[in-house]
Amino acid sequence: MLREIEADRSSRVDDTDRARRPLAGGVERLPAAPIAVAGAMEVAAQLERLLVQSRRQRSVFALLWVSVECVDGSIAVDLERQVRDEVAQRVFARIRSTDRLLRESERDTCVLLPGAGESAALRVAARFVRALNGAYRVGDELVRVEVRVGHAACPPGGAPASELMARATAREAAPA
């Protein structure tokens, strides 16, 4: 499997980082933090690194693209940002420690799933849709959110990063 580069992890330790996960042998490790990236080009660069590693290891991986499509009501911009942050936190809470969560923008979140094929990507995408759509309470406000989860899987032979991103971000008919 992939080893995350230590530079990708946040070195800041706060109360949320104190909740450590034990590894085999009793060693504890901090959970991987979401990685804020500066746009689609940086996501493509991360994806290219994963492609190179998967080709070397002859392994598969999947890419999920979670987009906040609709936030109900006319709410303040600050509240909408908080709701989008909460969506990203719910995504982060539902991924494995070996997965990477990239915040491409306030609207979009990308999840890289090493070792996951097409069928695993479909299952995870369906779980995300069920878990992320619905009501979010932020402060005293209750806001209804709709998300779209796109996916693409990379076979052992690989595919260009741009093709994978295009498949994952394609705007298809909304799932029923």
The more confidently predicted of residues 124 and 76 is: 124
Amino acid, single-letter form, for residue 83: V
Prediction pTM value = 0.70
CATH 3.30.365.10 applies to domain 29-169: no
Residues 6+ apart with CB under 8 A from 61: 50, 54, 112, 113, 114, 115, 116, 153, 154
For residue 149, what are the β-bridge partners?
Answer: 66
Contact 78, 86 (CB under 8 A): no
Q: At what angle do helices 118-132 and 77-93 cross, to 10 degrees?
A: 140
What's the rounded Cα separation, in Å, for the pair 167 and 63? 9
The more confidently predicted of residues 76 and 147 is: 147
Query: Over the stretch 82-138, which tens digit does the pLDDT of each residue have?
Result: 888 899 899 999 999 888 888 877 788 889 898 899 999 999 999 999 999 999 988
Q: Name the residue ranges covered by the structural domains of the chain.
A: 29-169
